Amino acid sequence: MKSNTFIQMVLFGVAGVFATVVDWVIYISLYKYIFTFSKGYLPASCLGFLAGVLVSYYISIKFIFTTRNIKNQKLELLLFIIIGIVGLILTQLFMFLFMETFPFKDLTLFLSRLCEKFYSIDLQLSSRIIVTVIVFFWNFFARKIIIFNDKKS
């Protein structure tokens, strides 16, 4: 059966919500209670993201991608983790950029101020939202193309 990329993306998005909830609960808990130092958002973000990757892998192989081009499950998991690590690097890089550097921090502050009319949102949370969207697209397309494509190699 030929996969429908749009449907897979929607399902991956739904699965991403579950993975993101795990990610954010761990991230916020660690940032608030354990990593309370000035750059504590970095290790908290890392650990939350890694937990989210494991949830995403399980949901992806069980419910989303019916075509599995890689027969060796250990290799498939390794590639999934490598793509996740690239996503983690992107998460860390963009969290730093949006929290610490010009012009990204100014853009994030601007968006935070726009949202204040509807909901109180701080720099840290608005940065995390932006980063989550960016990394979602990386994760979906990298995994779809590299691991779960329809073409036989």
Over the stretch 40-83, which tens digit does the pLDDT of each residue have? 888 998 899 888 888 989 999 999 987 778 889 889 989 998 99
- Residue 152: inside a domain, yes or no? no
pLDDT tier, 5 (very low <50, low <70, confident <90, very high otherwise)? confident
- Residue 81: inside a domain, yes or no? yes
Q: Give the residue-averaged pLDDT of 135-149.
A: 91
pLDDT of 124 above 90: no
Q: Which of 1-10, 110-119, 137-146 has the highest mean pLDDT?
A: 137-146
Q: What confidence score (pLDDT) does residue 1 get?
A: 39
Please, are residues 87 and 135 in contact by the beta-carbon 8 Å criterion? yes
- Residue 132: inside a domain, yes or no? yes
- Residue 31: inside a domain, yes or no? yes
- Residue located via tokens 């101020």: 113
Q: Which domain holds residue 37?
A: 5-146
- Residue 18: inside a domain, yes or no? yes
Q: pLDDT digits over 23-33, tens only?
A: 989 999 998 89
3-state helix, strand, coil in the chain (%, to 5): 75, 0, 25
**67: DSSP letter:** -
Hey, what's the torsion of the CAs at 84, 144, 11, 112, to 10 degrees?
50
> How many domains does one find in the chain?
1
pLDDT tier, 153 (very low <50, low <70, confident <90, very high otherwise)? very low
- Residue 86: inside a domain, yes or no? yes
- Residue 65: inside a domain, yes or no? yes
